[in-house]
Amino acid sequence: MATSIDSTLEELGDQTGADLDAMSANVKDMKPEDAPNQVAAALRAMKIKLGKYRVIAARSILLAAVKELVTTPRGGGPASRLAAQSTSVHSPLKKAQQERMARVQERVAITSATTGDPHEEEVGSYLRNVFPWRDTEDSAQQWWKVNETEFPTLAKLARIDLSAPGSTADVELVFATAGWMMSSRRGRINGETLGWLVTTHGWMRQGLNRLIGLDQAARATGAPILEKMDAAIAK
């Protein structure tokens, strides 16, 4: 696992992250009384590397899920769509959805005109934390609603990920507290993809943070390391 992470980080130019394993070369110089601290430092460094790897994995997972979501046929044939429109054309909810969709399409049109792939740009902006998570929001769903024009497809994916029970045991455990079913939306994402999304569930609920899940001491140790790693990659 560590070898795979090292090779992936090196391919991305993250030499600083890959060099974290170099500390193992100094094991022979450890004093017996220093061993616990050295081991703790090594474990924290590995956690930071895993956090970096999670960003790499999250990008591929999100892109795959976005592609699947936008390419899956929606609804039935023309007759069924016409029937649905006739029954809800005057619905306030339908009107709000149409207005929201118009805003989203406008944003997509602007993005498409300035970038090659709007989905690549959308996922990249989210992972770069271009629009930081705000703790003032009432819920994760509210944050995604507010930022839907910036992340139209990811916001839709987040609603599925945060509100729908899953198709596998692991996913079901994550979504055990879901208050309502979204089977029609869930049906547009296959079980395997939904299972992968468990990896990014914490970020969709709490905002992108590679230190999520670490204790306070590990966060304090990891934050400056991540800053140096990101600065090295940006050069």
pLDDT in tens, 68-113: 777 755 444 444 444 444 444 556 666 666 666 666 566 555 554 4
Q: Does pLDDT of 61 surpass 80? A: no
Q: How far apart are CA 213 and CA 227, in angstroms?
A: 18
The residue ranges of every structural domain in the chain are 2-234
- Nearest Cα residue to 66 out of 119, 111, 109, 117: 119
- Is 148 in contact with 100 (CB distance < 8 Å)? yes
Residue 46 token pair? 């590995």
Q: In the 8-state DSSP scheme, what is residue 58?
A: H
pLDDT in tens, 169-181: 555 555 544 433 3
Q: Which amino acid is present at 117?
A: D
Residue appearing with tokens 């045991």: 169
Mean pLDDT (the chain) is 62
pLDDT in tens, 23-53: 444 545 555 555 556 566 666 665 665 555 5
- Nearest Cα residue to 47 out of 225, 170, 182: 225
Taking the model in full, what pTM does it have? 0.44
Highest mean pLDDT among 119-128, 184-193, 205-214: 119-128
